[in-house]
């Protein structure tokens, strides 16, 4: 599985339609302070179903909609689409590519689309969970979080490794089986 591209329209500093292509292998995002590097990460977290504005460095979900720029006024909506390569069928859908789109407006309405068709956050989260990608799991390390990882005690570190290895959900099942 790989991310092929991301398309932002009216999301934070991306007032105009902005396409970010990712080549195979390792990608690095470089740019001056305030140029929008972290906004790209926020766009990932947003499109993958984040609920809290705080996790996207905003006070309110509406702050994610662009205030304008590039000679354009404020945007009415913010949308982010992410396109995954699914050649290896990492996603449990028999399609070569998976597109996930999330769009919000200033009235507080929001929609999700899966490969162009209306979907729900729950359905998308389920699909991502089965494929091992969720924004709150350990495959995204946010700015500042490295200190937390360094300062962990050995138990917390083991829990993290179990989480990454996908064992954590089996531990939960074991505990609930023992309770029965």
Q: Examine residue 38 and tell whether it contacts Mg ion (CB under 5 A).
A: yes
Out of 7, 8, 18, 36, the only residue in the binding site for ligand ATP (CB under 6 A) is 36
User: Smallest distance from the beta carbon of 80 to ligand ATP, in angstroms?
Assistant: 13
Distance separating alpha carbons of residues 102 and 79, to the nearest angstrom: 6
Q: Examine residue 38 and tell whether it contacts ligand ATP (CB under 6 A).
A: yes
Out of 25, 34, 71, 144, the only residue in the binding site for ligand ATP (CB under 6 A) is 34
The label of the residue with tokens 């905003």 reads 58
User: Of 19-27, 37-45, 46-54, 105-113, which segment contacts ligand ATP by CB under 6 A?
Assistant: 37-45
26-56: string of b/e by CB count within 10 Å (b at 16+)?
A: eeeeeeeeeebbbbbbbbbbbbbbbeeeeeb
Q: Residue 133: CB partners within 8 Å, gap ≥ 6? A: 1, 48, 139
Which 103-142 positions form the footprint of ligand ATP (CB under 6 A)? none
Q: Beta-strand (E) ranges in the chain?
A: 2-9, 18-21, 77-85, 97-105, 110-114, 117-119
User: Smallest distance from the beta carbon of 37 to ligand ATP, in angstroms?
Assistant: 3
Which residue number is nearest to Mg ion in terms of Cβ? Answer: 38
* Sites of contact with ligand ATP (CB under 6 A): 12-13, 31, 33-39, 63, 65-67, 69
* Sites of contact with Mg ion (CB under 5 A): 38
């Amino acid at each position: 599985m790989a991310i092929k591209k991301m398309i932002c329209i009216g999301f934070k500093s991306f007032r105009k339609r902005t396409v970010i292509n990712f080549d195979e292998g390792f990608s690095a995002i470089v740019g001056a302070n305030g140029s929008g590097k972290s906004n790209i990460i926020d766009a990932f977290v947003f499109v993958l179903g984040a609920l809290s504005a705080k996790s996207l460095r905003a006070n309110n979900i509406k702050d994610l909609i662009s205030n304008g720029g590039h000679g354009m006024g404020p945007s009415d909506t913010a949308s982010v689409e992410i396109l995954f390569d699914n050649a290896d069928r990492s996603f449990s859908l028999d399609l070569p590519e998976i597109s996930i789109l999330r769009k919000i407006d200033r009235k507080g309405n929001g929609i999700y689309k899966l490969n162009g068709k209306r979907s729900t956050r729950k359905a998308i989260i389920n699909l991502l969970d089965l494929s091992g990608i969720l924004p709150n799991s350990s495959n995204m390390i946010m700015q500042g979080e490295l200190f937390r990882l360094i300062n962990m005690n050995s138990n917390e570190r083991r829990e993290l490794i179990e989480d990454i290895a996908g064992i954590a959900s089996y531990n939960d099942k074991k505990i609930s089986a023992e309770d029965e």
